[in-house]
Structure 1
Amino acid sequence: MNEIFPSGAINTEAPPAPAHPDGARRPLGPGSWYARPAARYWTAPPAPTAAHAFHAALPDYAPTRLVELPSLAAELGVGRVFVKDESSRLGLPAFKALGASWALHRVLAERGDAAAGATGAPEPVDAGAGVAAGPAGAAAGSAGMAIGPAGAGAAEPVTFVTATDGNHGRAVARIARLLGQRAHVFVSRGVHPEAVAAIEGEGARVTRVAGPYDLAVREAARAVEDAGVGPGAGSGSGRQASPTVLVQDSGRPGYERIPGWIVEGYATLFTEIDAQLAAAGDGAPDLVAVPVGVGSLAQAAVTHYRAPGPGPGTGAGAGAGPALLAVEPEAAACVLESLRRGARVGVATGDTAMAGLNCGTPSSLAWPALRAGLDAAVAVSEARAARAVRDLAALGVPSGPCGAASLAGVRAALTGDGAADRRAALGLGPTATLVLLSTEGPAANPHGQDTSAHGRSPEPRGSDANAYSQTPDPYGPDTHQHEPATHPYGPGSTPQGPATHPEA
């Protein structure tokens, strides 16, 4: 295992003890909430749906459970509360395998089609993805193929390179191993040693980066370029024995196709929710709470619930769809700050037990959908997340801090000072149905047992937690942080209506 340090030094200082013993109930600060109710009337472009059929054909596939918790409904003053429990998904303790499996399948299938000389040449994989020419020999075929290792006579395995703050890296490593491929995972600072060991246990090469997630993303992209198969490669043949592909769940301008496949894979989760709510006698949710890092899962939620379609809770253009609430740590609320400013910006991140959400810059691919389709965003304290982990466990839902963030965010939004206004902004009445995404189990993030990488909760951050920082784009020079607020989907697609936040 390698290590990378941004300045050659190691920070061994533990964070201070919590400054607010009652932080699980302290009021939201002025910078911790954003709402724009007009978002639920926006219509998203239709999304591809092939990923669900692909997942359904996998040997270990089964829908994860949707658990109804009446006690939470009573606490929150709503009709019904359901938790989507992603503590066991395709043999892993988090939802990320949905995106990784579909993306790796698409990469290998296209390479296989090209090698076989198929008619109707496939669209090339992302510029900048670092794909060398040549057969993969692993996964050509239909969306219904079963995951398995490369067959006899296969070409040199592909090395899939990615950066992670935990779950995505393990998912890429697991799927690569099952497909007979290789993985090289760059792990950011603050990921628990047990989570790192789990990635290594999948057979991946691991490089530790003593810096935040955005630095790990840059290092992963640089590794692909240095291999001689991506843009910016040095002199040499431009080839290597093992072709290399960057598989990142965060997009940047010029690198959005593979992240788009990952988002398509996440859509399976919402398709399952539709069927499970129908079976429970509930047609559609009134609110869906989504933990947010770079925003890819939230993008999948926006696309699912805002796109025209026959399913319940979809086709927002014909009427109000469900409210979509993004939940982030106070220490890394990049989407909240971007929404408040109307442009994709970076924030300086701090320590948080919600390691999988500790991201400083929204995905460029996700940002247009988040800006147009999210009703609200909330930043939650470490104490709120820790309490949510404990409470969900007591109710029979095993969750890590990232997964429990959805409950922490809903509590922050619907209780305490100003709750009536926040409920009104979300359009929630006493009979509302809420769906909370618990995106990981305790095994995905051992911080759930000790609440931080140092054995105690990081210091809760105050109202300045989301102070804007000139954090560079994680892939390199900052050329896209101050994007105009117009929506790229075309004229007339930007939703109307004022935002309700401190700067409005």
Structure 2
Amino acid sequence: MTDHVQLNPGASSWRWCGHDTSKASASSAVLDFHRTLPSYGRTPLHSLSALAAELGLGRVMLKDESDRFGLPSFKILGASYGVFRAVADKLDIPVTDHSPSLELLGSEARSHGLTLVTCTEGNWGRAVARMAKHLGIPTKIFVPSFMPVTTQALIRREGAELVVVNGNYDDGVAAAKQEAANDGSLLVMDFGWEGYEIIPQWVVDGYSTMLNESDEQVVEHTATHSVTHAFVPVGVGSIAQAVTQHFKDSRRTTGHAKVITVEPTTAASLKTSLESGTMSSIPTEDTIMCGMNCGTVSTTAWPILEDGVDASVIVTDVEAHQAVQDLKTLGVDAGPCGAATLAALRRAVLDKGDELGLNQNSVVVLYCTEGPREYEIPKITSSG
């Protein structure tokens, strides 16, 4: 029988010390940048008191990223900042407080004929295309062949050129890399590999806005309580890296939360890597949690996740779908990737609640990274 929860005992005492003087104020600089984008506003943090009572927990709260800058995902936070920094770097334009403006950066990018290229399972590509639209520059986006036509249409609606690859996500990444190498386009991806690590780190930096918002909102909800457990989806690992760095930062004065990640049973690249003790690429299968259908963890994320993730949880499509329905009854509309954190919480409480310290003193934050979308409802089988 598959063990759905992999514990990482050494993570409880591990602290992230990767910051330096320049990074100490990085999150405020990122927030200042995001405030320059159209329609900036904090996303809500919902208090799920009925769920907390059901599971025997002190508090359960959910950070709802179903509407961020008018897009149904947190991805625009990393995409906007990552593209901004990458374009400025490509054009040798220094980035300082409030400079360059989007208008200036876009004008310079257009004058140099700059084009962006990326690969996506959906939300990332749409977010990159939205940022490219703000800058007024073209984008070519490679997508796997199994992407629903409705998702393809949403990306095209942002003004991007879409290229459907006869293969999976990893095949699309290879095609995007080749495109950038052939014509000099600027490759903007949210995960790293050897030789490609700076832009993915800027993407991770972009997610600090969501985390700083949720810190403020937890205080508003609880007055004095610090977060004890944070649940986050993995995918390629960038958002999980951001959450782990945030809650394991040695400078934190409000306590260090346990970080629990979630992946589909069909794409458990992080859990596999944690079990083996080395970063491992795995074959994946289709899942309704398509934003997490990734077979390789980012090289920039892996060292942080290996040391700092307290538990890795895998959930089935049936569990993710049930979590979507459960959240709907609680007044929260989410897609399967976002609702997967609730599925992971249920699984963690059931299988490893005592080991993880999930009890009446717990203050849990679920990072719900995706708004509602169409998907094929999974069939319940005897195996779950």
Could you say which TM-score interval applies, normalised by the shorter chain?
over 0.9
Partner residue, 2:64: 85
Identify which of 294, 297, 300 aligns with 1:362.
297
Partner residue, 1:193: 149
Look up the SS of the partner of 1:331 in the other structure.
coil
Identify which of 291, 302, 311 aligns with 2:233.
291
Query: For 1:214 and 1:188, how far apart are their aligned partners in 2?
Result: 8
Give the TM-score normalised by structure 1.
0.71
Look up the SS of the partner of 2:279 in the other structure.
coil
Partner residue, 2:374: 446
Cα deviation digits, residues 253-312 of structure 1 (max 9, x gap) = 110000110000011111111100111124321110001101110000111111122553
Cα deviation digits, residues 152-175 of structure 1 (max 9, x gap) = 995044211111111100000010
8 Å CA contact 1:187, 1:208 repeated in 2: yes
Query: For 2:305 and 2:108, how far apart are their aligned partners in 1?
Result: 44
Identify which of 345, 365, 375 aligns with 1:435.
365
Partner residue, 1:39: 11
8 Å CA contact 1:328, 1:357 repeated in 2: yes
Q: Does 1:275 align with 2:247?
A: no
Partner residue, 1:400: 335
How far residue 396 of structure 1 moved from its aligned partner, in angstroms, is 1.2
Identify which of 26, 50, 66 aligns with 2:45.
66
How far residue 58 of structure 1 moved from its aligned partner, in angstroms, is 2.5
Identity %: 40
Q: Does 1:423 align with 2:353?
A: yes
Q: Identify the structure with the greater helix proportion.
A: 2
Matches within 5 A, 1:4-153: 29-44=1-16, 45-46=18-19, 47=23, 48-49=26-27, 50-114=29-93, 142-143=97-98, 147-148=102-103, 150-151=106-107
How far residue 38 of structure 1 moved from its aligned partner, in angstroms, is 2.6
Cα deviation digits, residues 35-70 of structure 1 (max 9, x gap) = 023303111122542212211333311111000011
8 Å CA contact 2:234, 2:262 repeated in 1: yes
Residue identity opposite 2:311 in structure 1:
A
8 Å CA contact 2:45, 2:63 repeated in 1: yes
Partner residue, 1:255: 196
Residue identity opposite 2:309 in structure 1:
L
Cα gap change, 1:71/1:218 in structure 2, threshold over 3 Å: closer, same or farther? same
Query: For 1:403 and 1:104, how far apart are their aligned partners in 2?
Result: 24
Cα gap change, 1:205/1:282 in structure 2, threshold over 3 Å: closer, same or farther? farther
Cα gap change, 1:354/1:143 in structure 2, threshold over 3 Å: closer, same or farther? farther
Query: For 2:148 and 2:383, how far apart are their aligned partners in 1?
Result: 21
Gaps in structure 1 of 5+ consecutive residues: 1-28, 115-121, 123-139, 230-243, 314-320, 463-504
Identify which of 291, 294, 309 aligns with 1:374.
309
Partner residue, 1:26: none
How far residue 351 of structure 1 moved from its aligned partner, in angstroms, is 1.0
Look up the SS of the partner of 1:364 in the other structure.
coil
Cα gap change, 1:153/1:80 in structure 2, threshold over 3 Å: closer, same or farther? closer
Query: For 1:287 and 1:460, how far apart are their aligned partners in 2?
Result: 32
Q: Provide the aligned length of Structure 1 versus Structure 2.
A: 375
Query: For 2:225 and 2:98, how far apart are their aligned partners in 1?
Result: 29
Residue identity opposite 1:60 in structure 2:
S
How far residue 190 of structure 1 moved from its aligned partner, in angstroms, is 2.9
Residue identity opposite 2:248 in structure 1:
R
Look up the SS of the partner of 2:246 in the other structure.
helix
Look up the SS of the partner of 1:206 in the other structure.
strand
Q: Does 1:176 align with 2:176?
A: no
Gaps in structure 2 of 5+ consecutive residues: none
Cα gap change, 1:219/1:459 in structure 2, threshold over 3 Å: closer, same or farther? farther
Cα gap change, 1:333/1:293 in structure 2, threshold over 3 Å: closer, same or farther? same
Matches within 5 A, 1:156-175: 156-175=112-131
Pair member with larger Rg: 1
Look up the SS of the partner of 1:332 in the other structure.
coil
How far residue 458 of structure 1 moved from its aligned partner, in angstroms, is 9.3
Question: How large is the RMSD of aligned CA atoms in angstroms?
Answer: 2.1
Query: For 1:153 and 1:200, how far apart are their aligned partners in 2?
Result: 21
Query: For 1:152 and 1:160, how far apart are their aligned partners in 2?
Result: 14
Partner residue, 2:249: 307
Cα deviation digits, residues 174-226 of structure 1 (max 9, x gap) = 10011111111111233221111010001101011232211111111111112
Give the TM-score normalised by structure 2.
0.92
8 Å CA contact 1:176, 1:183 repeated in 2: yes
Look up the SS of the partner of 1:283 in the other structure.
coil
How far residue 363 of structure 1 moved from its aligned partner, in angstroms, is 0.5
8 Å CA contact 1:380, 1:405 repeated in 2: yes
Cα gap change, 1:216/1:33 in structure 2, threshold over 3 Å: closer, same or farther? same
Cα gap change, 1:290/1:460 in structure 2, threshold over 3 Å: closer, same or farther? farther
Q: 4+ residue runs of structure 1 moved beyond 6 angstroms? A: 458-462
Query: For 1:461 and 1:365, how far apart are their aligned partners in 2?
Result: 36
Cα gap change, 1:310/1:369 in structure 2, threshold over 3 Å: closer, same or farther? closer
